[in-house]
Amino acid sequence: MSLQRAARVNLRRFLRNRSVKRSLRTSRTKAQRVLSTGTAEEAQIAVKQTITDLDIAARKGIIHRNKAARTKSRLAKKLNATVSAA
The domains located in the chain, with CATH, are: 3-85 (1.20.58.110)
Higher-pLDDT residue of 78, 84 = 78
- What pLDDT does 38 receive? 84
Helix/strand/coil for 52: helix
Size of the chain in residues = 86
Report the C-alpha gap between 22 and 65 in whole angstroms.
17
Report the C-alpha gap between 59 and 76 in whole angstroms.
20
Q: Tens digits of per-residue pLDDT, 23-78?
A: 999 999 999 999 999 889 999 999 999 999 999 999 999 999 999 999 999 999 99
- What pLDDT does 86 receive? 64
- Closest among 70, 59, 77, 47 to 20, alpha carbons compared: 59
pLDDT class of 84 with cuts at 50, 70, 90: confident
Taking CA atoms, 66 is separated from 38, 59, 70, in Å, by 28, 11, 6
- What pLDDT does 1 receive? 81
Cβ-contact 50, 31 below 8 angstroms: yes
- What pLDDT does 54 receive? 96
Q: What is the pTM of this model?
A: 0.84
